[in-house]
Amino acid sequence: MNHDSYFCLNQGVYSLTEPDGSKRTVEYTADPHNGFNAVVHKEAGHHPVAYAAPKAYAAPVAAYHHAAPVAAYAKYAAPAYAYHH
């Protein structure tokens, strides 16, 4: 990317490769009087090579069988009250 800012005039050039393989080049200028202006050039490119889609694998399914919980009750003797006359 080239860029020149002198006396509030900004100008530059950048390029990028599009997904279809073509090359886009943008030449731009910007100043307070004319605003932003861009000229876009597009060069035809080659078609990208098509690759086979990766094979999808399913995640393993885990089956869990839980037994019902068994309540453990505390065993205790009832208090014995003494009878006095």
Domain count for the chain:
1
> 61 lies in a domain?
no
Mean pLDDT within 40-68 = 81
> 70 lies in a domain?
no
> 29 lies in a domain?
yes
Beta-bridge mates of residue 38: 28
pTM to 2 decimals? Answer: 0.44
Domain membership of residue 25 as a residue range: 11-43
> 81 lies in a domain?
no
The answer, yes or no, to whether residue 29 has pLDDT greater than 80, is: yes
> 62 lies in a domain?
no
Q: Which of 19, 14, 5, 4 is nearest to 38 (CA)?
A: 14
> 31 lies in a domain?
yes
Mean pLDDT within 18-44 = 90
> 57 lies in a domain?
no
Kindly write down the DSSP assignment for every residue of 36-53, as one continuous string.
EEEEEEEE--PPPPPPPP
Mean pLDDT within 26-39 = 90
> 5 lies in a domain?
no
What tens digit of pLDDT does each residue of 35-51 get? Answer: 899 999 999 876 666 77
Higher per-residue confidence, 2 vs 43: 43
The answer, yes or no, to whether residue 16 has pLDDT greater than 80, is: yes
Q: What are phi and psi of 38, to 5 degrees?
A: -135, 145
